[in-house]
Chain A
Amino acid sequence: MTYTTSRASAFSEALRRTFGRPVEFGLVVGASATLLAALALVTLTLWRALPLEQPPWMRPQALVFAAGAQGEIDLAALQSALRHVAMVASADFLARDAALSELAQRKSLSAIGLTDLRPNPLPDAFLVRFVAGAQPEAVETAVAEMRKIKNVESVEYQAELYRRMALLSQLLARICLLLAAPLGASLIIGVSLAAILWVRIDQDEVRVLHLLGADPPVMRRPYVYAGAMSLLLAAALAWWMVTAAGGWLEPLINSAAQQYALRWTPAALPIWAGALFCLGASLFGALLGSLAARAAIRR
């Protein structure tokens, strides 16, 4: 076994280190691949769900009933007044006749004779939606302001429900934030540890080579190559896991997103993204190998 400063020699040393212990190597690559796959899945999920926003059904809304019969008041002026209230995103007109025909289509209501009522007992109304992320207190103030507008009969707003939903979504966001940072950090640390353990610096050899005057970059080279190769293989395996998991879960997620009106961009994973992921992991492995060897030289 010789020692030369060539890149080919460093590469064959790295190959010897990498494939010399196949069982250990399989375990380390498997563990690293699982961690990398978890990281990739979290990133992909965020990418597809971003920008994160409340689905329409979670946003606070109120029903504003107009006073008086059709033609007696200026509905356009009322709609404009509602739109000018703070925190209001939209105010859509719900015509009393349209509401009545929709009610009439419901069999349960036609059974109790609603459709036989004359004249139309329903008032004209506006469905007012508030801006996403509006605080319940601000919405309640806006609702109180609406009640004071001329020609507003009443405003139906479920204050308690939206207070609870706001509290829940705040809590959920904070828990996610709290978990995301340590989870991401522990995944990266896990991958780093696995790679460093795998590269397993030969401390004695590094010490002796340093003593004999080997160039530091030449000493680091086999470890850099071993780190890069290990994480390249782990990343390729991780990408396969992500693709397989995606194929399995995608239809379920798509239909759930549709049902709950959640933002979700279904997209096939492009090949360049996989190549970039593998390249990034490989460079990260090379960096870890270099840092571990550098630390061993300094010791």
Chain B
Amino acid sequence: MRTEPYLSETSVQAPLLSCEAVEKRYGEFRPALMGLNLAIGRGEFVVVQGPAGCGKSVLLRLLAGLEAPSAGAIKIAGEDLARMRPRALAQLRRSMGILPPGDSLLGRRSVLENVALASWVAGSAFEEGMRRARAALELVGLDVERYGAASGAELASGQRQCAALARALVNRPALLLLDDLLCPLDEAIAARVLQVLDQFSTAGVTVVAAMRSGVAPTNSSSTPWPARARTLQLVDGKLVQ
């Protein structure tokens, strides 16, 4: 059985992630995604923008292997997600950092535990997980001494988003899938978060972030994406380059 993370094995030249004629349907309604072709290389910073309901979250869920496409293929590190067994998919997700939309912190665990959970799931010992969690929280600018022991419910929405981002970063993943990243963050925190993500991307981490068009960080009129970011527009389930 495979024990090493999948994503460390790809060559630098091959796309880390590719979508080939991907379609996703829910029942008989209009498809959420249609004929989507996409290739993302290692270390790329990709921003998927579009109005609400255009399929951004669906795309990220498909990329994370949380759902299967109705047609087409999604390959990560050359492996077709649809052909992977649930355990292999779980192992693949341990190599990713995923930020789901909305509040995803667990109320009955402290902020530190919430972040360390990702590390524990990946097999770290208790102390190692806590050490990594502290480092990740400091990285996103959340005061560990002040908020580490608090429960997720005690934080403001922006702080919760930072803690969830810290959880996505805690295992130093090879692929970051970030949904609604900047939504509840104010300008200063958003700038810091994007700076951190830019550093990760420069270091070879692939970043795919989804963002509603026209939505900027709180108190900001512009979206300060890194200059190297490639922006894709998603409209009605189709990519508009």
Could you list which residues of chain A lie within 8 angstroms of chain B, going by C-beta atoms? 1-5, 204-205, 207-217
Number of interchain pairs (Cβ within 8 Å):
56
Distance between Cα atoms of A210 and B98 in the complex (Å): 11
B121 touches A212 (CB 8 A): yes
Q: Assuming A2-B126, A3-B117, A213-B90, is B64 touching A208 (CB within 8 A)?
A: no
Contact size range, B: 20 to 34
Query: What 16 new A-B contacts, CB under 8 Å, besides A2-B120, A2-B126?
Result: A3-B120, A4-B120, A204-B107, A205-B106, A207-B104, A208-B106, A210-B90, A211-B98, A211-B100, A212-B94, A212-B117, A213-B91, A213-B92, A213-B122, A215-B91, A216-B86
A210 touches B109 (CB 8 A): no
Distance between Cα atoms of A146 and B126 in the complex (Å): 91
Distance between Cα atoms of A98 and B40 in the complex (Å): 106
Q: Which of A3, A205, A211 contacts B93 (CB 8 A)?
A: A211
A208 touches B117 (CB 8 A): yes
A208 touches B90 (CB 8 A): no
A212 touches B107 (CB 8 A): no
Q: Does B217 contact A (CB under 8 A)?
A: no
Q: Which residues of B contact A205 (CB under 8 A)?
A: 106
Closest 3 pairs between A and B when the two form their complex, measured CB to CB: A213-B93, A213-B94, A3-B120
Chain B residue at smallest Cβ distance from A297:
B86
30 residue pairs A–B, Cβ–Cβ below 8 Å: A1-B109, A1-B113, A2-B113, A2-B120, A3-B117, A4-B120, A4-B126, A204-B106, A205-B106, A207-B104, A208-B104, A208-B106, A208-B117, A209-B117, A211-B66, A211-B93, A211-B98, A211-B104, A212-B98, A212-B118, A212-B122, A212-B167, A213-B93, A213-B94, A213-B96, A213-B121, A213-B122, A215-B87, A216-B87, A217-B87
Q: Which residues of A contact B129 (CB under 8 A)?
A: 2
Q: Which residues of A contact B86 (CB under 8 A)?
A: 216
Distance between Cα atoms of A51 and B113 in the complex (Å): 61
Distance between Cα atoms of A187 and B95 in the complex (Å): 46
Q: Which residues of B contact A210 (CB under 8 A)?
A: 66, 90
Q: Which residues of B contact A5 (CB under 8 A)?
A: 123
